[in-house]
A and B are shown apart, each in its own frame.
Chain A
C-alpha cells in the first residue's frame, strides 16, 4: 500500500544528544513536510522540501535540521540546540509546487519524542 512511514513511534533524547526521526514515502510525491504538534498549538511547520536536494525553513526551524537526498526520504534531526523538543512530530507529503495547492497532504503516524 502507498503511504508514509515514520519511525520510530517513540523516541527518547538525552541532554546534549542529537536524534533523527525517519520519514519515508512511496507515493511518488515531490513535496515533503515536517510538523510539530503540541497540545493546543495545532500543527506548526518546521521544514519543507519541494524537490530533492532543496528544502526551506518553516515557522519553527531553530534547533532542527533536515536533508532531502532522495525523493522518498526526508529525515528530521532534532539537535541539542532545540531546548524543548518534547512533542509529537508529523511528517507529510504532497504533489508539490504548482500542482499541490488543491491536493490534500498525506500524513504518517507520527513520532513522539520525549526528554530523558
Chain B
C-alpha cells in the first residue's frame, strides 16, 4: 500500500529564511508520481509540481526547489528567502501507476503548516 509521511506538522520561520518541507513516501510500484500542493488560507489546493519515478533531476522554479531522492524515498521541498505570502499548508501526494482495479487514487500526507512571520 502507498503511504506518504510529512513528519513536520508546523514550521514557523521569519521572512527571508530558507525552509525545507520534508516528504517521505512508501510504494511497491516501480512507476509512480509525486506531487506537491499548496493550500493557502482561502482553502483551495493549488498544484505546484509533479515528478515521476524515473526522473530524479532536481527542479527549481524561482524561490521553490524540489529534491527527489529515490534512495531515501524522499521528495523534499525548499523555499528560499521565504515570504509572508508563502504561509500556507503544503501537501505532498503519491500516485501509483499500477494500482489494483486501475483506479487513480492519490495518497496525501497530513500536510505541513508553514507560517512565515514578517
What is A's interface to B at a CB cutoff of 8 Å? 31, 33, 40-43, 45, 48, 50, 56, 58, 88, 90, 92, 94-110, 112
Q: CA of A33 to CA of B45 in the docked complex: distance in angstroms?
A: 13
In the bound complex, residues from chain A placing their C-beta under 8 Å from that of B37 are 104, 107
Q: Are B103 and A109 in contact (CB under 8 A)?
A: no
| B45 touches which of A31, A45, A90 (Cβ 8 Å) | A90
Q: What residue in chain B is nearest A112 (Cβ atoms)?
A: B43
Partner of B43, one of A100, A103, A109: A109
B34-72 to A contact mask, C-beta < 8 Å, 1/0: 010100001111110010100000000000000000000
- Chain A residues whose C-beta falls within 8 Å of the C-beta of B43 in the assembled complex: 88, 90, 109-110, 112
Cβ B110 vs Cβ A42 within 8 A: yes
Inter-chain contacts of B47 with A (CB < 8 A): 104-106
The reply to whether A50 and B44 contact each other, CB–CB distance below 8 Å, is: no
Q: In the bound complex, how far is the Cα of B94 from the Cα of A82, in angstroms?
A: 29
Q: How far is the CB of A58 from chain B (nearest CB, A)?
A: 8
List residues of B whose CB falls within 8 A of some A CB.
Answer: 9, 32-33, 35, 37, 42-47, 50, 52, 91, 95-97, 99, 102-106, 108-111
Q: Indicate which residue in B96, B104, B111 contacts A97 across the interface (CB closer than 8 Å).
A: B104
Contact A102 B33 (CB under 8 A): yes
Please give, as numbers and ranges, the residues of chain B lying within 8 Å of A42 by CB-CB distance. 91, 108-111
Closest approach, in angstroms, between the C-beta of A115 and any C-beta of chain B? 19
Inter-subunit contact B97/A40 (CB<8 Å)? no
With A42-B111, A102-B52 in contact, is A56–B106 under 8 Å at CB? no
